[in-house]
Amino acid sequence: MVKRLTPWLLAAPATLLVLAFLILPVGSTLATTFLEPKGWIAPYVTFFNSGVRRTVLYRTIEISVITTVLSVIIGFIAAYVVAHVPGRLKSIMIIAAVFPLLTGVVVRSFAWLILLGKNGILNSALLGLGLISQPLSMLYTEGAVIAAMVYLFVPLMILTLAGVLEGIPKDVLEAATSLGATPFGVFRQVILPLAMPGLIVGAVLVFTGSFTSYATPQLLGGEKQMMMGTLLYQRAMVTFDWVGASTVAAIMVVVTFVIVFLMTRLARRLNPMVA
């Protein structure tokens, strides 16, 4: 009897924690939008009728997709190098990749303020080299937000991918080569499919991370480059429009689920073993 209950008892604390601090608050947030007197669809109609808010949604998706794609490419190349260098150098490179994660998001976004500002390092350098005559305004652009977010998420990508790439047996790659696969063929037909589980985990982490980001777009994008995270904050904390804020949250949850679902589908086509 006790034996049969043991697994349930062991799972109980974590289950209760998730239930109390995740499911209930998120559920009640979403429920808010359904309890509108004007009908559950009304807040969403309001959201999509507003050109500004639609733009914010599209911009958020666009920035997140670009950030994810860039992080995947840069992270993959870096992870490939990390997986193939000898032991000592590998530890140093892993530490270098993890190091930025030890500081806060705000600190790292501030670093980009210093880099990209009117009197920032990049502008000074370009002026000094005589490549430009007037400082460029690089802050508060989509590019600034993307650059900072890629910088933020690449370490995450490297960590998830390095392990996966190291786990691909060398003789499997040699087998492909011996059977006539070109280096690119080996990459496309063997490495990429076998790295797919890690790639999906990494891409989902990066996508959800950038889709829900708040500090980076706030600091480097400002009002001009408002994203869903900043819009949510503004609705809830500035205008006290709780229904509007809940609507934004609900849309974010739905978009995230849809994108994750699509990515998993894509992964399964490349590697049928991805669960």
Partner 1 sequence: MTVSLTLDNVSAHYGSTQVLKDLSLSVKAGELVSLLGSSGCGKTTTLRLVAGFLEPSAGSIRLGDRDLTRLPAHQRDIGLVFQNYALFPHLSVRDNVAFGLKQRGVGKAERDAKANAMLERVGLSAFAERMPAALSGGQKQRVALARALVIEPPLLMFDEPLSNLDAKLRVDMRVEIRRLQRANGTTSLYVTHDQEEAFSISDRVAIMNAGRIMQLDTPEVLYQRPANSFVARFVGFENLIEMTVTERNGEMVTATTKAGASLTLSQTVYGAIPDRFILAARPDGLAVRQSGEGIPVTLGIRTYLGRAYQYQCTTSTGDLTGNGPLSELLEPGAQAVLVPVPEQCCILPPEA
Of 243-272, which residues contact partner 1 (CB under 8 A)?
271-272
* Interface positions, 44-83, toward partner 1 (CB under 8 A): none
Q: Which two tokens stand for residue 257?
A: 């689920």
Per CB under 8 A, does 208 bind partner 1?
no
Backbone dihedral region for residue 222 (phi beyond 0: left; psi -120 to 50: alpha; all else: beta): left
Q: Which of 177, 208, 212, 264 touches partner 1 by CB under 8 A?
A: 177
Distance CA 158, CA 98 (A): 9
Please identify which residue in 171, 238, 240, 275 interacts with partner 1, judged by CB under 8 A. Answer: 171
Residue 86 makes contact with partner 1 by CB under 8 A = no
Given 29, 46, 141, 189, the residue binding partner 1 (CB under 8 A): 189
By CB under 8 A, residue 178 contacts partner 1? yes
Give the shortest CB-271-to-partner 1 separation in angstroms: 5
Q: According to the binding rule CB under 8 A, does residue 194 interact with partner 1?
A: yes
Assess 159 for contact with partner 1 (CB under 8 A).
no
Binding of residue 143 to partner 1 (CB under 8 A): no
Nearer to partner 1, 165 or 206 (CB): 165
Distance, in Å, from the CA atom of 109 to the CA atom of 148, rounded to the nearest integer, reads 6
CB under 8 A, 24+ apart: contacts of 66-71: 66/146, 67/146, 67/149, 67/150, 67/153, 67/206, 67/207, 67/210, 68/203, 68/206, 68/207, 68/210, 70/146, 70/150, 71/150, 71/153, 71/154, 71/156, 71/157, 71/202, 71/203, 71/206
Q: Does 182 bind partner 1 (CB under 8 A)?
A: yes
Q: What is the total count of residues that contact partner 1 (CB under 8 A)?
A: 21
**Alpha-carbon gap, residue 61 to 105, rounded angstroms:** 20
CA distances from 107 to 103, 104, 258 (A): 7, 5, 32
Smallest distance, Å, CB 260 to partner 1? 21
Residues that bind partner 1 (CB under 8 A): 169, 171-172, 174-183, 185, 189-190, 193-194, 271-273
